[in-house]
Amino acid sequence: MNLLSEVESKSFRTFTLFIFIVLIILALLVSIFSYKYRVSSINYDYELNLNYEELKGIENLSIWLVNDDNFEKFYLDNPNVENLEISKQLPNVINIDINLYQKIIVYTDFRDTSPEQRVLYKNLYTADAISEKDLAHLVITNGPILDGFYSEIVSFILTVQKYEVDLSEVSMTFDGNALVINYLDTIIDAGKAVDLSRKGTVVGYILEKGNCKGSVKILQSSGEDIETLFEC
Percent of the chain with pLDDT strictly greater than 70: 83
For residues 87 and 191, state if they share a domain.
Answer: no
For residues 126 and 195, state if they share a domain.
Answer: yes
**Domain range enclosing 108:** 103-231
DSSP letter assigned to residue 112: S
For residues 16 and 41, state if they share a domain.
Answer: no
pTM of the model: 0.81
For residues 220 and 166, state if they share a domain.
Answer: yes
Reported as a pLDDT band with limits 50, 70 and 90, residue 33 is low
Q: What is the mean pLDDT of residues 182-209?
A: 94
Domain count, the chain: 3
φ/ψ of residue 119, rounded to 5: -110, 135
205 to 13, 166, 187: CA distances (angstroms): 73, 13, 14
CATH number for the domain that contains residue 88: 3.10.20
Cis upstream peptide for 79 (omega within 30°): no
For residues 47 and 139, state if they share a domain.
Answer: no
205-224 pLDDT, tens digit per residue, is 999 999 889 999 998 755 56
Length of the chain: 232
Higher pLDDT, 29 or 188: 188
For residues 116 and 190, state if they share a domain.
Answer: yes
For residues 23 and 71, state if they share a domain.
Answer: no
For residues 217 and 107, state if they share a domain.
Answer: yes
DSSP letter assigned to residue 224: S
Q: Give the separation between CA 186 and CA 136, rounded to whole angstroms.
A: 15
Pick from 63, 66, 103, 57: nearest CA to 82:
103
For residues 114 and 223, state if they share a domain.
Answer: yes
DSSP letter assigned to residue 178: -
pLDDT given for residue 21 in this prediction: 72
For residues 116 and 208, state if they share a domain.
Answer: yes
For residues 148 and 166, state if they share a domain.
Answer: yes
pLDDT(71) > 90: yes
